Amino acid sequence: MSRLAARYAVLVRVYPPGPRRDELLGTLLDCAPPGRAWPRPGETLGLVLRGLRARLGRPLSSFVVLLAVLAALTGAVAGASAGSWLGWQAPPRLPSGESAHQLGQTVFPGLTVWGGGDAAAFVRTGDGEGLQYGFADYWVEHTDATRAVEPYTVGARDRLAADGWEVGATGTGTFVATKDGLVLSFEDQVWTGRPWYDSDGWAGFELSRSAPWWTNALTLAGALLGALTGWLLTGWASRRTESHPVHARTAAVLALFGLSLTTPLLLLSFGWSPPDSGRPWTETLHLGLRWVPRWAPIPITWLPPLALLAAWFARPRRRSLIAAGATLLAVSAAIAVLSTRPGPATAAAACPIRPAEPPAELPAAATRLSTVARVFVRQDTPADQRNLITAAIGRVPATRAYNFEYDPLSAAYRDAYCAGAPLPAGVGATLPYFFDIDLSSPGAVPGLAAEVGGMTGVLAVRHGLPRP
């Protein structure tokens, strides 16, 4: 077989299996002039488009084309979501150690910079309604220099530009800079009229990742593969039910209702999280794709698979029935085994707790990406002093929310002292009270400890396990 024949043979495989492939191949070779080694671009495009249409069968029906387009859109969004998820399974770590220290000193030379560390790839927005890229908070306590907002902002921007950062969006006391796959969002604010125990503002920046190139490549590949899969499945179902009117109508109704509702539902995902300042739309796209799997439990998303099942029953095979039954049995057995495994509350036979003392620090590997912290205080700490501790917690820019816990029967006590397991009988009443704190980034705990650690009544500051 010549090279041209081999290349034509690959192209005609776009058409569904059957004698038409051989006929097309023969015609193409007969019409090709001597010396041609490659199919012409227009010829290639025409073969692909007509082949995909032929895959749908029913040459006089435009309804099947509509279903195929909806299936391709749905498949593209689902495939892009899967590709994006795969690409973010091993995100590059944010700077730490000396790299983080140098960055902090570039922005805030000569000052003590708190925060830093790594962060999860994506986190909830402050209101809990959307998603944003995970970030590490860096901040400093205000000095006379940082209170001069505009001059200090310009200086920080110039120092970063001299260090190779590309400065983008700029506002009053704010700017965004990018370098080597990192996004730095700077902010300097001064607040007036605050009492002495509150902060008068803050200066700091958030450091997050930009989407690595392989993530965008996997997302694009997933979208193309998903679109092709949706189109080909529609064609398979259409051809399979051509001589079975009842199955054809059933599959068509299920597919039409399912796809016409599922497609816009999936597209809604991209409006759930607002665009991230300083990022191109391709990176904002990943925020929307993270929401796509959340629609899976909604019953309307089950209708397209039921349409395929109706098409399959048009011509079922015994071997396929046996395989489906075996798969169902295996999945049921796995669910049964997993559901009988002991949970954390029953698996922990002994809780490592010491009466009247705060818990020991948890292993660093377990809390590396946790945004939970706890400040343990003596039970006899006066209310006025607890108010000052509360104010100090609020002065940490990375603090999002906090609760004061004093009920030994609460779930918060079990989480803080026994990793969710029940407390030993009678010991709860002797344990220190604590503030249960949600932080914006994992590396903020040392800054929190520096703010409250020396205050009267404070016993310890501890990392907590990530919340489920």
In whole angstroms, give the CA distance from residue 188 to residue 138: 12
In whole angstroms, give the CA distance from residue 440 to residue 170: 23
In whole angstroms, give the CA distance from residue 100 to residue 107: 11
In whole angstroms, give the CA distance from residue 264 to residue 256: 13
Domains: count for the chain: 3
Task: Give the per-residue pLDDT at 162.
Answer: 96
In whole angstroms, give the CA distance from residue 237 to residue 229: 12
The pTM of the full predicted model, rounded to 2 decimals, is 0.78
- Whether the Cβ atoms of residue 373 and residue 437 lie closer than 8 Å to each other: yes
Which residues have CB under 8 Å from 167's CB, separation 6+? 157, 160, 161, 175, 176, 177
- Out of 194, 211, 228, a domain closes at 211
Per-residue confidence in pLDDT tens, the chain, 468 aa: 578 888 888 888 888 888 878 888 888 888 888 888 888 888 888 888 888 888 888 887 889 999 999 999 999 999 999 999 999 998 899 999 999 999 999 999 999 999 999 999 998 877 767 788 899 999 999 999 999 999 999 999 999 999 999 998 788 899 999 999 999 999 999 998 888 888 888 899 999 999 888 999 999 999 999 999 999 999 999 988 988 889 889 999 999 888 888 888 887 777 666 666 667 777 888 888 888 888 888 888 888 888 888 888 887 766 655 655 565 566 566 555 544 544 433 333 467 788 889 999 999 999 999 999 999 999 999 999 999 999 999 999 999 999 999 999 999 999 999 988 889 888 889 999 999 999 999 999 999 999 999 999 999 999 999 988
- Out of 161, 178, 211, a domain closes at 211
87 lies in some domain: no
Q: What angle do CA 425, 426, 431 make, to 5 degrees?
A: 115
Max CA-CA distance within the chain?
97
Q: Which domain holds residue 454?
A: 364-464
351 lies in some domain: no
Burial track 189-202 (b if 16+ CB lie within 10 A, e otherwise): beeeeeeeeebbbb
Q: Are residues 186 and 115 in the same domain?
A: yes
CATH number of 390's domain: 3.30.70.3040
For residue 377, which of 369, 364, 386, 368 has the smallest C-alpha distance? 386
Q: Are residues 7 and 110 in the same domain?
A: no
Task: Give the per-residue pLDDT at 277.
Answer: 63
Q: Are residues 42 and 120 in the same domain?
A: no
In whole angstroms, give the CA distance from residue 87 to residue 213: 9
190 lies in some domain: yes
- Out of 193, 211, 229, a domain closes at 211
329 lies in some domain: no
411 lies in some domain: yes
Helix, strand, coil content of the chain in percent (nearest 5): 50, 15, 35
Task: Give the per-residue pLDDT at 348.
Answer: 39
In whole angstroms, give the CA distance from residue 309 to residue 251: 8
Q: Are residues 47 and 101 in the same domain?
A: no
Q: Are residues 111 and 165 in the same domain?
A: yes
- Going 293 to 297 to 298 to 300, the CA torsion angle's sign is positive
Q: Are residues 108 and 28 in the same domain?
A: no
Q: Are residues 441 and 377 in the same domain?
A: yes
Q: Are residues 122 and 194 in the same domain?
A: yes
Task: Give the per-residue pLDDT at 341.
Answer: 44
188 lies in some domain: yes
Q: Specify the DSSP element, H or E, that contains 52.
A: helix 41-55
Q: Are residues 457 and 388 in the same domain?
A: yes
Task: Give the per-residue pLDDT at 345.
Answer: 38
In whole angstroms, give the CA distance from residue 459 to residue 352: 18
Structure token pair of residue 434: 């604590």
In whole angstroms, give the CA distance from residue 157 to residue 161: 6
In whole angstroms, give the CA distance from residue 110 to residue 249: 74
Task: Give the per-residue pLDDT at 321.
Answer: 57
Task: Give the per-residue pLDDT at 325.
Answer: 59
61 lies in some domain: no
- Whether the Cβ atoms of residue 16 and residue 47 lie closer than 8 Å to each other: no
Q: Are residues 43 and 106 in the same domain?
A: no
Q: Are residues 206 and 101 in the same domain?
A: yes
25 lies in some domain: yes
Structure token pair of residue 164: 């190779």
Q: Please count the other Cβ atoms lying within 10 Å of the Cβ belonging to residue 434.
A: 27
Q: Are residues 114 and 167 in the same domain?
A: yes
